Amino acid sequence: MLRLFAFLLFILHSSFFTLHSQTQLPPYLDPSKDIETRVEDALSRMTLAEKISVIHAQSKFSSPGVKRLGMPDFWTDDGPHGVRPDVLWDEWEQAGQTNDSCVAFPALTCLAATWHPSLSAMYGAALGEEALYRGKAMILGPGINIYRTPLGGRNFEYMGEDPYLTSRMVVRYVQGLQSVGVASCVKHYCLNNDEEYRHQVNVIVGDRALHEIYLPGFEAAVKEGKAWGVMGAYNLYKDEHNCHNQYTLGKILKQDWGFDGVVVSDWGGAHDLDQAVKNGLDMEFGTWTDGLTMGATNAYDMYYLSKQYQKAILDGKYTTKELDEKVRRVLRLFFRTTMNKKKPYGFLCSEEHYLTAQLVAREGIVLLQNERNVLPIQAEGKKILVVGENAIKMMTVGGGSSSLKAQHEISPLQGLQEHLKGSDCQIEYARGYVGDTSGNYNGVTTGQNLKDDRTPEELIAEAVEKAKTADYVVIFGGLNKSDYQDCEGHDRKTMDLPYNQEKLITAIADVNKNTIYVNISGNAVSMPWRKQVPAIVQGWFLGSEAGIALAAILLGDVSPSGHLPFTWYESLDQCGAHSFGEAAFPGIWREGKKIIDEEYKEGIYVGYRWTDKQKLKPAFAFGHGLSYTTFKVSNLRCAFNETTDGNMTFKVDVTNTGDRPGADVVQLYITDVKCSVDRPVKELKAFQKVILKPGETQTLTLNTDKRALSFWDETTGDWKAEPGDFIAWAGDASDRLTCKVKFTLK
């Protein structure tokens, strides 16, 4: 009995001291301390080897924490449209897990086409919850490089051509993702506007174009979104790779913008120890020994920011000054993510996530053309012929690092069939063309057998014959995520549709007056047959709920409200990047060097800025998007017609003049009437999406600031707004501006 009493007394005594010790946590473990205090305390406790270990990868997608100090491994994963399936520790092969399927959200071109920042926040939060469930602390996204040319292989992962639209959408995405404790790694910083030879391209661009076009999205993500991570790009600027660049990283990102997060290398994007140490890189990730291709058992010890960096410090080549700054940033990231005990639990493939994906898809689909009001389809008692490989092909697999293992993907044909189940509408299908039937990427397979050995002529003949007796023909064409289409690693070779689609479309349009073409892609395509086809819809890569969203639009459950985030050229001749010869795109190899110099000779004149300047009429203008109802934007006015600080408040009326509810995107552009430098005809500076009932009018308030009136002054290296007259324009597309007002900056 006495022994039992003594034992219990010992337990109570031990518990007292355990509880007491818990109240004396070291500062780095005390959540009541501010992050900077915790960072400095943790830094002071780390050995040189531990500091080195946290600034480079230990596997394909992870870096080690500090186990001695209770800091877990740090796991990243690809986005930006869903959480990529897990691969083996040091191989790209699938890990074979059964719980790494995900919701595939629409591609970012579709998200940008919603012109709805609140949806961007919902998108980011839903993606963050999926990442949390999978144990990921950082999503490698979003991508926000500018749509410079429709040949860009990775444009589908980005947010279009306009820096202001990109800025508004990326801020809310980052905030949504990080609101659940998952770091956003905004990419690819910067000037990563083409994929071919992306490791060798040295971009030559003027300071005005750099700051006015290519940097604002990143600046907004950092300053307003408070992004915790930024990924460097593969390409070079001023002959330095952008994963360790003294200008873009050292000066602009960290010094000028005050970025306090982590710069992560793109996989294999580091090339030099001295530059990696001194020019802004914080965490080096990659593949195998050299970060890209070579394999070895001690692969990750061979990274620039690994054993060779540690040895250089011990040999006296470097002090620990640069190292400690890198580690501070990494520790800050740990305390925001893996060491954040207040982050919520994650969810995978929840109903809410699918609803978010569906809502983004529906609001991003763009009605480009609708002659004779062919859309929406009046399906009752009718026969609908669906044509095209893209009506049945899964699009979530492929495209590069954004390839996903979706829990499910509803095809356009399935969506229409499901929507019309039980009705007296007949649906037939004809293949029409055969494209890429492989259906696999990086070990993930669609399971689809798309093989068809018929000739193009046989496929077209079958589709035409069926089209003759159909009330409507819906052709699902466009691109896919194969090489040289919408895919990482290569740019498109042409703007034309592949796989004999032009012949198919014109042949069907010749026999059926109610032909509807739905383009599935992240890029614009040439449409020489455009005037033969009454209805054209841009359907993007819509992810898991693609078929549901497309059916809702085509059959009229929802009125389309997407607007283009880029200019849809008639041909490459209308694109500024293609107007200055090979030197401007794709660039010219240096003699005797493995470097391509690509000069952005169009400068600030990207997209609608170029077509405005050259007085060109594109196929569809930036900001264009039709509806099943009509709208009137009118009565633009400003609160005062003079300003000294540049801040302006505009009011504008928008009325639904049709007979059904719908949403419109009201866009505000500003013209500098007279300036000491050449400026665009107009530039987007505010927008708002609004839902209206038939006959309803709302007055919108649109605010701008001095930055909206400014240009980048290359002589002072800063933003400058010159006093004088300005004009504000309002409408619902860059070529449909129905009202204006003049004001003065004093």
Residues annotated as part of the active site: 266
Give which of 321, 339, 183, 170 is closest to 262, Cα–Cα: 183
Do residues 239 and 204 make contact, with C-beta atoms less than 8 angstroms apart? no
Put the strands of the sheet holding 683-692 in their side by side order: 642-643, 737-745, 724-731, 662-672, 683-692
Do residues 190 and 202 make contact, with C-beta atoms less than 8 angstroms apart? no
Q: How many CA atoms lie within 13 A of 64 on its CB side?
A: 15
Cα 617 from chain centroid (whole Å): 27
Longest Cα separation, the chain: 101
SS3 729: strand
Query: How many CB atoms lie under 10 A from the CB of residue 639?
Result: 13
* Alpha-carbon gap, residue 744 to 73, rounded angstroms: 56
* Alpha-carbon gap, residue 557 to 28, rounded angstroms: 54
Going by C-beta distance under 8 Å and a sequence separation of 6 or more, which residues neighbour residue 690? 654, 663, 664, 666, 698, 700
Q: Is the dihedral of CA 390, 396, 399, 405 positive or negative?
A: negative
Do residues 404 and 363 make contact, with C-beta atoms less than 8 angstroms apart? no
76 token code pair: 């990243």
Distances from the Cα of 507 to the Cαs of 390, 465, 504, in angstroms?
18, 10, 5
Residue 94 carries which DSSP code? B
Give 201's strand partners.
596
In order, the DSSP letters of 219-281 are: HHHHHTS--SEEEEPSSEETTEETTS-IIIIIIIIIIIS---SEEEPPTT----HHHHHHSS-
Buried b (16+ CB within 10 A) or exposed e, 338-357: bbeeebeebbbbeeebbebb
Put the strands of the sheet holding 472-478 in their side by side order: 366-370, 535-538, 515-520, 472-478, 383-387, 426-430
Do residues 144 and 186 make contact, with C-beta atoms less than 8 angstroms apart? yes
Tell me the backbone φ, ψ of residue 510, rounded to 5 degrees.
-70, -25
* Alpha-carbon gap, residue 65 to 60, rounded angstroms: 15
> Beta 472-478 vs 515-520: how paired, if at all?
parallel
For residues 643, 646, 649, 650, the Cα torsion angle rounded to the nearest 10 degrees is 90
Query: How many CB atoms lie under 10 A from the CB of residue 306?
Result: 21
First-to-last alpha carbon distance for the chain, in angstroms, is 92
